[in-house]
Amino acid sequence: MNTQAVQVNTISHNEYLEGELESEIRHEYYDGYIHAMAGAGAKHNTIAGNLFSQLRQKTRGTSCRAFIADMKLYIPELNRFYYPDVLLACDPDDNEEYYRQNPCLIIEVLSPATEAIDRREKLHAYQQITSLQEYLLVSQEKMQLELYRRDGEHWQYLMLDNEQDTLKIDCLDLELGMPDIYEDVVFS
């Protein structure tokens, strides 16, 4: 039996950023390794668009900026780049063209292919970001929101799953109703 070790080459984060400018598909970066990202469906895009639209309306005339899908998040302590579905950054000094480092809110719309990563790996990684106040997981299968909110050194967990529930985004002083988040989404 002939066994050979397979060598996997890593790249620097600068090489990654340069490659993303030319790539037709998006990749996330994990300390030298890149992973291609799957595309999203209609419900996923509608929900992310609804959330972005509400955040964008609220940020007009402020130092906060809402981003959707293509803005990368860089976590220098972990040397990782992610593509959150929606990102809110309010630090005027956090102004790189292709990524942000100091968001106050990150939103991930759950999908079967990424749900485990969003709940474990990204939850742990995002909680390392000192500026992050809230991490929101949004189901696309039913009306259900899961919010992780920083409370000093600890994180609180809140689940909303009633059509009459209202989500309060503290870092932007914004309230969103379930009908706003799930507008035009039809559940099977």
CA dihedral 61, 174, 107, 121 (to 10 degrees): 120
* Mean pLDDT for the stretch of residues 82-102: 95
| 15: in domain | no
Q: Does 81 score more than 70 pLDDT?
A: yes
Q: Which tokens in the block code for residue 126?
A: 């995002």
| 146: in domain | yes
Q: What pLDDT shows up at residue 178?
A: 96
| 50: in domain | yes
DSSP 7: P
Q: What pLDDT shows up at residue 77?
A: 93
| 172: in domain | yes
Q: What pLDDT shows up at residue 25?
A: 85
| 160: in domain | yes
Closest CA to 40 of 114, 146, 148, 119: 114
Q: How far apart are CA 33 and CA 22, in angstroms?
A: 17
Show the domain range for 63.
Answer: 39-181
Domains held by the chain: number: 1
Q: What pLDDT shows up at residue 4?
A: 64
Q: How far apart are CA 176 and CA 107, in angstroms?
A: 13
The C-alpha R_g of the chain, in whole angstroms, comes to 17
> pTM of the predicted model, to two decimals?
0.92
pLDDT digits (tens, 9 = 90+) for 137-182: 999 999 999 999 999 999 999 999 999 999 999 999 899 999 999 9
Alpha helices in 23-168 (DSSP H): 42-59, 115-117, 123-126
| 8: in domain | no
| 27: in domain | no
| 2: in domain | no
We report the CATH number of the domain holding residue 97 as: 3.90.1570.10
